[in-house]
Structure 1
Amino acid sequence: MATNNLVELTGNLGSDPTVHTDRNGDEFIRFSLATTDSYKDEKTGEWEELPSVWHSIFG
């Protein structure tokens, strides 16, 4: 049995979305999205930010 995973990303748009057409004439959109994560260092109590992760989105 097939399952679907649902992921919700919140981040910053890397560039304007572009619309493409496949061989069947169906349109889809493509864009890049940057997400970041941070955590509080247990020793110093300071917030540390991890490097951005870039995601290529199309659908």
Structure 2
Amino acid sequence: MAINKVIVIGNLGADPQIHTLPSGENVVNLSLATNERFTDRKGDPQQRTEWHRIVAFGKLAETCGQYLSKGRRVYVEGRLTTRQYEAKDGSGKRYRTEIIARQIRFLDRRRNASGAAAADEHSIPF
């Protein structure tokens, strides 16, 4: 038996990038930051940020493109995948590890035009 499941909670580092594939299906790319806080050997507090590439397809991609923006806090559940591609400069193969999202939940409240927190009607799983 094998399991490939990833769960991350973090903040978006940029607005979603939504594209349409030649097949007509939508795809969205998200950049997600997770933070780890710890104390080093000297007793000083430290923080480490890890960046994750998130990819979602179809209706989930459309919803993310419509409602998410930089800074939003999200829960992502999916699977890890590594794909191979040729470098644009022709210098060889490159590899990219991504999380293919199966579920994305919006965890924070959206801000309305006046800056006040508004209830987020899209906080349920997709």
**TM-score interval, normalised by the smaller of the two chains:** 0.5 to 0.7
Equivalent residue runs for 1:1-59 within 5 Å: 3-41=2-40, 44=43, 46-50=44-48, 52-59=49-56
Cα RMSD (Å) of the superposition? 2.1
Q: Which has the higher contact order (CA 8 A, sep 6+)?
A: 1
Q: Aligned equivalents of 1:37 and 1:4: distance in 2?
A: 25
Aligned residues: 56
* Local SS of the residue matching 2:9: coil
How much has 1:39 moved relative to structure 2?
2.0
| Higher normalized helix content (fraction of residues) | 2
Alignment TM-score, normalising by the size of structure 2: 0.37
Counting aligned pairs with the same residue, the percent is 38
| Higher normalized strand content (fraction of residues) | 2
In structure 2, give the amino acid aligned to 1:48: Q
How much has 1:26 moved relative to structure 2?
0.8
Structure 1: runs of 5+ lacking an equivalent: none
Q: Aligned equivalents of 1:43 and 1:14: distance in 2?
A: 30
Alignment TM-score, normalising by the size of structure 1: 0.68
In structure 2, give the amino acid aligned to 1:47: P
Structure 2: runs of 5+ lacking an equivalent: 57-126
